[in-house]
Amino acid sequence: MAASRMTAASRVAGAARKDPAPEDDVFDYGELSELLGYQFKRAQLRIFEDFIRCVAALQLTPAQFSVLVMLEKNPGRNQTEIATALGILRPNFVSMLDALESRELCERVRSPHDRRSHLVMLTDKGRSVLSRAKRLVATKHEARLNALLGEGDRATLLRILDKLAGF
């Protein structure tokens, strides 16, 4: 049944053939073809590669972009709150913020109410860079995904991903 269906994965390796002549570059992926986790991982890597390429002019990784979006939408939060909301561990968030702050995209300000906390704020430059990044993401990255998937499949995919959020 792996041979009865023509998947993109099998198309990569070589053209379809009626006789199963073992050409050197054709692999049988077996149950990996139907394993959601495997296909998911490969797709995710490609999507991140494309994101990085599309936003290369602004030198922002997907993770950095997600931090800037969270800072814009949730001003006045401290480091721990932003980090955990994004699934980033607090120790690992320190160097991430260092990198963004050294580029003057955000700044840490001591909370007047709790001097242990650093409230993280977008700078004007950060707001400007984020605005340009959003435009690149929308017009290049997401546009390319839309062209490949179509509006219907894009919406369907988001709906399924939302289901998986409770996994």
Taking contact as CB under 8 A, which single stretch among the options 11-19, 90-98, 106-114, 116-124 is the one that binds a second copy? 11-19
Q: From CA 100, how far away is CA 128, in angstroms rounded?
A: 14
Q: Is 39 helix (H, G, I), strand (E, B) or coil?
A: helix
Q: Which of 39, 66, 78, 123 binds DNA (CB under 7 A)?
A: 78
φ, ψ for residue 122 (rounded to 5)? -70, 140
Give yes or no for residue 56 binding DNA (CB under 7 A): no
Give yes or no for residue 157 binding a second copy (CB under 8 A): yes
Angle between helices 90-102 and 62-73 (to 10 degrees): 90
Exposed/middle/buried for 135, CB within 10 Å: 0-12, 13-18, 19+? exposed
Q: Which does 56 bind (CB under 5 to 8 A by kind): a second copy, DNA, none?
A: none
Q: Residue 164 contacts by C-beta under 8 Å, 6 or more apart in sequence?
A: none
69 to 108: interface string for a second copy, x by CB under 8 A = xx-xxx--x---x---x-x---------------------
φ, ψ for residue 96 (rounded to 5)? -60, -45
Among 90, 53, 87, residue whose Cα is nearest residue 70: 87
φ, ψ for residue 118 (rounded to 5)? -110, 115
Question: Of 52 and 123, which has the nearer Cβ to a second copy?
Answer: 52
Q: Which residues ranging from 101 to 140 are in contact with a second copy (CB under 8 A)?
A: 134, 137
Q: Which does 28 bind (CB under 5 to 8 A by kind): DNA, a second copy, none?
A: a second copy
Chain contacts with DNA (rule: CB under 7 A): 61, 63, 78-80, 88-94, 97, 108, 114-118
Chain contacts with a second copy (rule: CB under 8 A): 7-9, 11-13, 27-32, 34-48, 50-51, 62, 66, 69-70, 72-74, 77, 81, 85, 87, 134, 137, 141-142, 144-145, 148-149, 153-154, 156-158, 160-167
